[in-house]
Each structure stands twice: as C-alpha cells, then as structure tokens.
Amino acid sequence: MPTTKLFLLIASASGMIAVILGAFGAHGLKNMIAPQLLTVWQTAVQYHYYHTFALLVVALVGIHIGGSHWLNLSGYLLIVGILMFSGSLYALALGGPRWLGPITPVGGLMFILGWLSLFIAVLKTHET
C-alpha cells in the first residue's frame, strides 16, 4: 500500500476517533472526572485534532510532490506523537498510572520532529 494512502487512511480514522473522544469528554466525562482532569482530556483532544490534520497535510503533500524519506518520516512521527502525547493524556485523565506522565513530553517531541521532517521534505523538493 502506498504510504500516502496509508497516511490518508490513518488520518481519516484518527479524525473520527478524535471526534468520538471529544464528544465523550464533553458529554460522558463531564460529571465523572475532576475539572482539572477534564482539562487534561481536552488538551489531548485538541492536540489529537491538530496532528490529525497535519498527517492529512503530509499525505496530500505526498500526493502533490511524491513521497520522500523525510515526508514519510514526518507522517510516522506524527502518528507516534498522537499515540504517545494524546494517548498518555487520555489515560492519565481516566486515572491511568502516573508513569505515563513522562511519555507525554516524548510525544510532544515526536510532534516537533514530525513538523521538522515536513519542513525538510518540502525544502528538499525540486520544483520544475
């Protein structure tokens, strides 16, 4: 399967999951968890959305300019970032173990490296 198609599929699924988790937080968790944990949940959803859209951009750029090592790396880093950053925050908000806390900034680093890889991919693109 071409990487761009894989990224489009994952971005589509991730967007759907972000909507479901956002609605669950707004309606299902509202009266079940402390307000500060609901804020953690909302942060997870917010970054989940941002980086789902970034993954969609990576796929569309891949369709436009063709795949490259840097572009593929960007997509994979964004996926790992969503799982680590948002995933750890979702788990922490639901009472997950405290050892998940240090995973969150590593996920943030994956986001940063994903954006950097996208930057490099576009910079190295040869336009005709």
**Would you write out the chain's pLDDT as a tens digit for each of its 128 residues?**
789 999 999 999 999 999 999 999 999 998 899 999 999 999 999 999 999 999 999 999 999 888 799 999 999 999 999 999 999 999 999 999 999 999 999 999 999 999 999 999 999 987 64
Looking at the chain, the number of H-run helices and the number of E-run strands are: 5, 0
Residue 112's Cβ-count burial label (10 Å; 0-12, 13-18, 19+) is exposed
